[in-house]
Amino acid sequence: MTLLLPLFMAREAAAQSETKKATPPADHPLAGYRAGGFFLRDEKDLFILYPSLDLQIDHYNYFGPGVGDTNLKSTFAFRRTRLTFAGEFLKDWTFRLELEMGRTALDNLNGRDETSAAAPGAAPTATSGQYAPAQTARVVAQLVGAWVGYRVHPALNFRVGQALTSFSMENSTPPRSLQFMEKSLATRVLGSQVANGVDLHGLLWGTLGEDIVTYTVAFVNGAGPNRLDTDGRGDLMTRVYVRPLSTVSGIGELKGLHFGGSFSYGSRDPTWTHYDYNAMTTQGNYAFWRPNYRNSLIGRNVHVVPANNQIAAAGELRVPFSIFDLMAEVVYVDNGTREVVEGYQSQNPAYGPGTLGFGHMHGFGYYLHGGVWLFGPRTGGRIGETFKPARLNLSKPDSPHESSLQAMVRWEQVSLRYDGYSKTSAVTATGAPAFTGVGPYDGDIKVNAISGGLNYWATRHIRLTAQWTTYLFPDSAPPTPTHPGGPVCDAVACANRAQAPAQSLPGTPSNVPQSQLEARDNGHSLHELLFRAQVTF
């Protein structure tokens, strides 16, 4: 308490200063538009509401060897349709409620989701199963963010609820402000320990020295959005970044130069953690690595589940100057896993037969980003500061916005090593897997990607994006040989690699076109041409 006393005294002095200020002029509207957003307030600013909308409509196109023979097809899609209600009350309290109204997706993609094995009272047979309709529209509305915060002092703020976690610069940037359509592989695949980087957490944050130093410390559930902490362990996340030139005048955009780092440590109790490890996807949502596979040795589906220590560290750099914007981040992870037969996830791994063993995912990813504003002002909002709530300032005049055009390029790489545990090759008399020590099967999850894109801002609320990305999967290989002596990886080992779409093609030469066979052996790439129309306010 002694350490906090100066902060409380400074806050009290600031509050007394506020009371001496005159009532806001009568010509300040109680509702209106300012600084890119709408507001509704009372006369004394004791309550301020900021309603907002995020609408992102995408079009995905896929190219590359063998891609035309896979299920990757050109399509329109709603990426985000979000309504948000944020605000301030009683001067020092803030809140945010963010609702996702539904994104485009399909249920029962392959028509294999069984709804019943047989009629009630009847014994199941090979033909008695009933299945859900295939390729039905998935309608999912969910809570994306909900939190309440309290400001003691600029150096000491509290927040509790669900929001983007404050690990890495990109993951601390709202989706509407990302320069490319989605986060980089490094921060999406490695830096987001939970789905979309969103989790329930308590956050302590503050700024020091007129925004020169910003810090965050969070205790996070670690289980992902809208999910209870299943093992009571959670994660500790911290991020610190420095803007050494923020108080220097006359240097233009370079005032925003910043560098910093993040660290996360957590643990998953194998006895109580049953959900899958995160899938790894491209910006167009192609999954090049999934946390489940078919174990050919036992003929059973196997899931990769987080287990034991989960460690991540990241470094970040942003250099805005003149019309240029340079950014870079590197992320390292060291995560434990458990491989368990489907249906046995909840069985205690200490004595249950379903756990085949424990694995280990470790490695790094990074990206290098360069942007140039070809004309017009910089647009897009704050980078890396989504945890800082909006504040209404009616005394500052609102500047008109001109249209602008930005060109971008990004190089990114992921290099992970998955040390899988030994796989079983037998079952017990009851049909449960029996560990026999076959293996181990390890794999390298390697992806290289280069992207280029354009952002056209018609206004600060309307953005049109076009981008191209080429992904290379240097270690991908088919699970069975296309020709005798051809490239192949064991069906189990393939599950531990980053796979290109062509490796999923069938490999029976008698009834498969030669072009597919060539792609299956030599197709290690995927090209994505993506478009987005975005409306935000």
Q: Are 492 and 293 in contact (CB under 8 A)?
A: yes
CA proximity to 210, closest of 255, 152, 151, 148: 255
Q: Are 446 and 287 in contact (CB under 8 A)?
A: no
Task: Answer with the residue of higher pLDDT: 265 or 522.
Answer: 265
Average pLDDT in the chain: 85
Three-state secondary structure string covering 373-437: EEECCCCCCCCCCCCCCCCCCCCCCCCCCCCEEEEEEEEEEEEEEEECCCECCEECCCCCEECCC
Q: Does position 471 have pLDDT exceeding 90, yes or no?
A: yes
Q: Does position 6 have pLDDT exceeding 60, yes or no?
A: no
Task: Average the pLDDT over 88-98 and give the result.
Answer: 95
Q: Which of the residue ranges 265-279, 298-312, 436-450 would you say has the lowest mean pLDDT?
A: 436-450
Task: Average the pLDDT over 103-119 and give the result.
Answer: 75
At 458, the pLDDT band (50, 70, 90 cuts) reads: very high
Compute the distance between CA of residue 304 and CA of residue 307 in angstroms, rounded to an integer.
9
At 437, the pLDDT band (50, 70, 90 cuts) reads: very low
CA proximity to 387, closest of 151, 108, 37: 151
The strand pairing partners of 449, in sequence order, are: 412, 471
Task: Average the pLDDT over 26-46 and give the result.
Answer: 86
Count of beta carbons in the 10 Å neighbourhood of residue 37: 16
Compute the distance between CA of residue 201 and CA of residue 227 in angstroms, rounded to an integer.
12
Place of tokens 């030139």: 245
Compute the distance between CA of residue 277 and CA of residue 333 in angstroms, rounded to an integer.
13
The strand pairing partners of 304, in sequence order, are: 339
CA proximity to 382, closest of 465, 454, 320, 315: 320
Task: Answer with the residue of higher pLDDT: 457 or 359.
Answer: 457
Strand 213-220 with 198-208, pairing:
antiparallel
Q: What integer pLDDT is reported at residue 24 of this predicted model?
A: 54
Q: Does position 356 have pLDDT exceeding 90, yes or no?
A: no
Three-state secondary structure string covering 262-274: EEEEEEECCCCCC
Contacts of 128 (CB under 8 A, 6+ apart): 117, 118, 119, 122
At 127, the pLDDT band (50, 70, 90 cuts) reads: confident
146 residue type, one letter? A
Compute the distance between CA of residue 443 and CA of residue 44 in angstroms, rounded to an integer.
62
At 257, the pLDDT band (50, 70, 90 cuts) reads: very high
Q: What integer pLDDT is reported at residue 251 of this predicted model?
A: 93
Place of tokens 């990074």: 366
Coil, helix or strand at residue 187 = helix
Compute the distance between CA of residue 97 and CA of residue 144 in angstroms, rounded to an integer.
8
Q: Does position 291 have pLDDT exceeding 60, yes or no?
A: yes
Compute the distance between CA of residue 435 and CA of residue 461 in angstroms, rounded to an integer.
58
Task: Average the pLDDT over 482-498 and give the result.
Answer: 73
Compute the distance between CA of residue 386 and CA of residue 214 in angstroms, rounded to an integer.
13
Count H helices, E strands: the chain? Answer: 3, 27
Q: Does position 213 have pLDDT exceeding 60, yes or no?
A: yes
The token pair at 214 is 């910003």
The token pair at 122 is 């009847």
pLDDT in tens, 179-200: 999 999 999 888 776 667 889 9
Q: What integer pLDDT is reported at residue 490 of this predicted model?
A: 62
Q: Does position 13 have pLDDT exceeding 70, yes or no?
A: no
At 111, the pLDDT band (50, 70, 90 cuts) reads: confident
Q: What integer pLDDT is reported at residue 425 of this predicted model?
A: 39
Task: Answer with the residue of higher pLDDT: 248 or 20.
Answer: 248
CA proximity to 303, closest of 247, 362, 359: 359
Q: What integer pLDDT is reported at residue 492 of this predicted model?
A: 57
Place of tokens 């589906």: 301
The token pair at 421 is 């545990």
Cα dihedral angle (4, 9, 10, 16), rounded to 10 degrees?
150
Q: Does position 53 have pLDDT exceeding 70, yes or no?
A: yes
Q: Which of the residue ranges 110-114, 158-162, 440-444 would you say has the lowest mean pLDDT?
A: 440-444
Task: Answer with the residue of higher pLDDT: 223 or 414.
Answer: 414
The token pair at 174 is 């709202």
At 434, the pLDDT band (50, 70, 90 cuts) reads: very low
pLDDT in tens, 313-331: 999 999 999 999 999 999 9
Compute the distance between CA of residue 496 and CA of residue 280 in angstroms, rounded to an integer.
12
Task: Answer with the residue of higher pLDDT: 447 or 195.
Answer: 447
Count of beta carbons in the 10 Å neighbourhood of residue 504: 15
Compute the distance between CA of residue 234 and CA of residue 199 in angstroms, rounded to an integer.
10
Q: Does position 427 have pLDDT exceeding 50, yes or no?
A: no
pLDDT in tens, 362-390: 999 999 999 999 999 988 888 999 888 88
Count of beta carbons in the 10 Å neighbourhood of residue 76: 10
Cα dihedral angle (175, 167, 245, 88), rounded to 10 degrees?
60
Task: Answer with the residue of higher pLDDT: 129 or 76.
Answer: 76
At 121, the pLDDT band (50, 70, 90 cuts) reads: confident
Q: Does position 259 have pLDDT exceeding 70, yes or no?
A: yes
Give the length of the chain: 537
Task: Answer with the residue of higher pLDDT: 120 or 62.
Answer: 62
Compute the distance between CA of residue 380 and CA of residue 260 in angstroms, rounded to an integer.
21
Going from the C-alpha of 242 to that of each of 7, 189, 327, the distances in angstroms are 21, 25, 14
At 272, the pLDDT band (50, 70, 90 cuts) reads: very high
Q: What percent of the chain has pLDDT over 90?
A: 52
Q: What percent of the chain has pLDDT over 70?
A: 87
Compute the distance between CA of residue 389 and CA of residue 284 in angstroms, rounded to an integer.
30
At 423, the pLDDT band (50, 70, 90 cuts) reads: very low
At 514, the pLDDT band (50, 70, 90 cuts) reads: confident
Task: Average the pLDDT over 3-27 and give the result.
Answer: 49
Q: Are 326 and 370 in contact (CB under 8 A)?
A: yes
pLDDT in tens, 132-178: 787 877 777 889 999 999 999 999 999 999 999 989 999 999 999 99
Q: What integer pLDDT is reported at residue 442 of this predicted model?
A: 63
